[in-house]
Amino acid sequence: MENKWKYILIAVALCLALGFGLLVVVAQQTLRPIQEAGNTLNTQVARILHPTPTILPDPVTIVHQVTALARLETMRYSLEKIIVAEEGQDFLKSLFGDRLLFIAHGSVIAGVDLGKLSSADLWVQDGMLQVRLPKAEIFIVALDNKKSYVYDRRTGLLTKGDKDLETLARQAAEEQIRQAALADGILEQAQVNAEVFLLGFFHNLGFSQVEFVWAAPEVEVSPSATP
């Protein structure tokens, strides 16, 4: 008799376990569409609050000028500058002030423009090739837009800020990067590198002796005053 009740209790326990398992499965299947709908809704809300920018380039391209270049790039500097641009920083700056901190990463490329050479700038004297090279110059000053960014910007309570302030900061950053490269001697190093490169070039052409003569820098002459 006791064994009979034991079997009955075991059977009831198995039924309850199976029923609970089925209930869990049904609950999961019922809640899954609700969870998926909730995730979809969260995604849509995120897209509304943080939309992905859409870039629509104008299909029309206007070519203003096409110029052939013969530039020998011999030196490149990569620099970083911190630029502070501000306006309205007086006693009313908390209301109308605008201030931003711009981190600028840029590069400066210098070299020699061989397009300025003419036949009169190359001659042979006592078996030595004489080459008059134009002075080194800066070709490119450019910011790296992937690395340059506005680190901080603070505006007054009653202003939305100057829309051109970041543009002015970028222009100032380019000039500061140019001046830093000049102060560090980029032009002098560009001249040295140009000589090394062209020396090997002329040796390959059969000139064993080469001497470089650098052209004098252009000097702006101001008109004399009329008495």
Q: Are 169 and 100 in contact (CB under 8 A)?
A: yes
Q: What is the 3-state secondary structure (H, E, C) of 140-178?
A: EEEECCCCCEEEEEEECCCCCCCCCHHHHHHHHHHHHHH
The percent of residues above 70 in pLDDT, for the chain, comes to: 71
The pLDDT value recorded for residue 76 is: 96
Going by C-alpha positions, the residue among 177, 40, 25, 163 that lies closest to residue 103 is 177
Lowest mean pLDDT among 175-179, 181-185, 202-206, 211-215: 211-215
Tokens of 28: 């999961």
Per-residue pLDDT, 182:
96
Name 143's bridge partners: 106
Q: Which residues pair with 102 in a beta bridge?
A: 83, 150
pLDDT single digits (tens) 43-66: 655 555 556 777 777 777 788 777
Which contiguous run of DSSP H or E holds residue 200? helix 186-204
Say what the pLDDT of residue 29 is: 56
Cα 216 → chain centroid: 35
Is the pTM above the cut of 0.95? no
Q: What are the C-alpha distances in Å from 38 to residues 28, 30, 35?
A: 15, 13, 5
3-state secondary structure of 37: helix
Q: What is d(CA 84, CA 86) in angstroms, rounded to the nearest whole number?
A: 7
Segment (H or E) for 195:
helix 186-204
Rounded mean pLDDT of 16-22?
48
What's the whole-number mean pLDDT along residues 220-226?
A: 44
Tell which residue, 119, 219, 137, 122, has the closest CA to residue 186.
137
- Residue pair 85/158 in contact (Cβ under 8 Å)? The answer is no
Average pLDDT over residues 2-12: 50
Nearest to 87 by CA among 201, 164, 173: 164
Q: What is the overall mean pLDDT for the chain? A: 79
Q: What angle do CA 86, 90, 96 make, to 5 degrees?
A: 70
DSSP 118: -
Give which of 118, 135, 133 is closest to 210, Cα–Cα: 133
23 confidence band (pLDDT: 50, 70, 90): very low
**Domain regions of the chain by residue span:** 1-52, 71-214
Strands (E), 23-136: 71-87, 98-113, 122-125, 128-133
Asked if pLDDT for residue 144 goes beyond 90, the answer is yes
* 157-184 mean pLDDT: 92
The count of other CB atoms within 10 Å of the CB of residue 1 is: 5
Residue 35 pLDDT grade (very low, low, confident, very high; cuts 50, 70, 90): low
What tokens appear for 156 in the block? 């007054």
